[in-house]
Amino acid sequence: MLTPNLSVNAQGHLCIGGADCVTLAEQHGTPLYVMDENMIRQNCRSYQDVLNSECSSGGLICYASKAFSCKEIYRIVDSEGLGTDVVSGGELYTALKAGMPAEKIVFHGNSKSNNELEFAVQSGVGRIVCDNLPELARLNAVAAAQGKVVSVMLRVKPGIDAHTHDFIQTGKIDSKFGFALETGEAEEAVLAATGYANLKLVGLHCHIGSQILDTEPFAEAARVMVRFMDSLREKHAIVLPELNLGGGPGIKYIEADDPKPFGEVIRAILKAMHETCVTLSYPEPFVLFEPGRSIVGGAGLTLYTVMAKKQIPNVRTYVLVDGGMNDNPRYALYQAEYTAVCANRADQPQTERVTLGGKCCESGDLLGENMPLQAVEPDDIVAVLTTGAYNYSMASHYNRNPNAEVVMVADGEPRTIIRRESYEDIIRNDV
């Protein structure tokens, strides 16, 4: 099985975290997102353990909640000692309502509205990561109006090509995010930030991309960032105490993926940071990481009911399910590959190659092509694995499909953490 929390029981049914997926589908309906709490907690701990044991200068793991945001996930990561990264007023609101302490929240965004900045300052979030010069001016004005001094970090593009899908590569110069190092923009932004009375520049941030399977791009980003911090000390006598190295560690979506264990990734980054600090005699910064996908991605799957099967001779076989790009747009957007299993025939061999088609009125509404699958029939339950990240959070109401329910399983016991939307929910704001 793709992840260690999946198994097949005596009935030949797929189980996640000890819960039978066929029973879950019967009891909660489909499409259904299922998340495994124990695995999420274990993932949090594998990050925390390395940070605690190998980072003498201290640090904070901030779960990147764009991967999956709802009240329960903030409660879980908070109880594991993590903070969170939010990227909108909506995520911030959800995190605060869940009881996440404001000082453990890092507020991101390349185009934050004035309302969002006011909300963040008023809530007392621990750090605001600024992306551009107009934002610095606006944030300073917002902070001044509230009589506060806010801690800010600056998002820097370290210019690292992390060899991932172009759409999700955010560390290069040609990116809408942050200030480029090479052009002198980042240095200018540091000087600008230190000139504002209501901003306290505490450090720098970078995020080089997502679903990165190698450790070296992360290590190189850490070196580049420490060298830049050192140059600020040399040229301007500015010593910044914090470094936020973003998220990005990849996970196993298909058998061919071979990600490094997250602990190993963090260890390699900390080592690169430490060595560079020693070489340059730079004081080791307090370090932040923002993993999203690697905390929740592998802990989730989505259950669908097969509605029809269309075998087009010499072309392909479509298996059509009751969800699609409205609950998982990642194949349509990035041709992201997934593994599928027939949950009620999980003990049978995968003898077919199918295209998993969704229910939306759009030819590109596919969940995958050329996917190995058991010989399924209508009314079977198909599980698409590893959907815990960037699925629910990227879901849409296309074709006015209501959002699916999310169930959290802990030690075999399921509980609903996000209710299924009703048609009434769909028209709630219609006038």
The helix/strand/coil state of 61 is strand
Does residue 221 contact residue 208 with C-beta atoms inside 8 Å?
yes
d(CA 308, CA 310) in angstroms, rounded, equals 7
Burial of 151 (0-12, 13-18, 19+ CB in 10 A): middle
Cis peptide before 414 (omega within 30 of 0): no
342 binds ligand LLP (CB under 6 A): no
Region near ligand LLP per CB under 6 A, out of 93-101, 221-229, 245-253, 307-315:
245-253
101 token code pair: 């302490």
Give the x/- contact pattern for ligand LLP in 61-80, rule: CB under 6 A: ---x-xx-------------
Q: Among 104, 127, 157, 207, which residue interacts with ligand LLP (rule: CB under 6 A)?
A: 207
- Number of residues lying near ligand LLP (CB under 6 A): 20
85 binds ligand LLP (CB under 6 A): yes
168 binds ligand LLP (CB under 6 A): yes
269 binds ligand LLP (CB under 6 A): no
Question: Nearer Cβ to ligand LLP, position 335 or 422?
Answer: 335
361 assigned to active site: yes
Q: Among 292, 300, 357, 414, which residue interacts with ligand LLP (rule: CB under 6 A)?
A: 292
The least distance separating ligand LLP from the CB of residue 211, rounded to whole angstroms, comes to: 6
Does residue 139 contact residue 152 with C-beta atoms inside 8 Å?
yes
Region near ligand LLP per CB under 6 A, out of 27-35, 120-128, 203-211, 278-286:
203-211
Does residue 204 contact residue 147 with C-beta atoms inside 8 Å?
no
The helix/strand/coil state of 13 is coil
Question: Nearer Cβ to ligand LLP, position 328 or 344?
Answer: 328
The least distance separating ligand LLP from the CB of residue 409, rounded to whole angstroms, comes to: 22
Does residue 8 contact residue 347 with C-beta atoms inside 8 Å?
yes
The least distance separating ligand LLP from the CB of residue 345, rounded to whole angstroms, comes to: 29
Give the full edge-to-edge strand order of the sheet including 19-20: 6-8, 14-16, 19-20
The least distance separating ligand LLP from the CB of residue 108, rounded to whole angstroms, comes to: 5
Beta strand ranges found along 56-198 (DSSP E): 59-64, 83-86, 105-107, 127-130, 150-157, 179-180
Q: Among 13, 28, 108, 127, which residue interacts with ligand LLP (rule: CB under 6 A)?
A: 108
Q: Which residues, in sequence order, are bridge partners of residue 309?
A: 319
247 binds ligand LLP (CB under 6 A): yes
131 binds ligand LLP (CB under 6 A): no
d(CA 19, CA 411) in angstroms, rounded, equals 8
Residue carrying structure tokens 């190995």: 372
Q: Among 293, 320, 355, 407, which residue interacts with ligand LLP (rule: CB under 6 A)?
A: 293
Catalytic residue among 62, 277, 360, 361, which?
361
The least distance separating ligand LLP from the CB of residue 282, rounded to whole angstroms, comes to: 23
157 binds ligand LLP (CB under 6 A): no
Q: Which residues, in sequence order, are bridge partners of residue 342?
A: 382
Residue carrying structure tokens 């979030």: 125
d(CA 32, CA 386) in angstroms, rounded, equals 13
Region near ligand LLP per CB under 6 A, out of 6-14, 284-292, 299-307, 358-366:
284-292
d(CA 82, CA 255) in angstroms, rounded, equals 30
d(CA 203, CA 285) in angstroms, rounded, equals 9
217 binds ligand LLP (CB under 6 A): no
Binding region for ligand LLP (CB under 6 A): 64, 66-67, 85, 108, 168, 170, 207, 210-211, 246-248, 290-294, 330, 390
* Residues noted as catalytic: 361
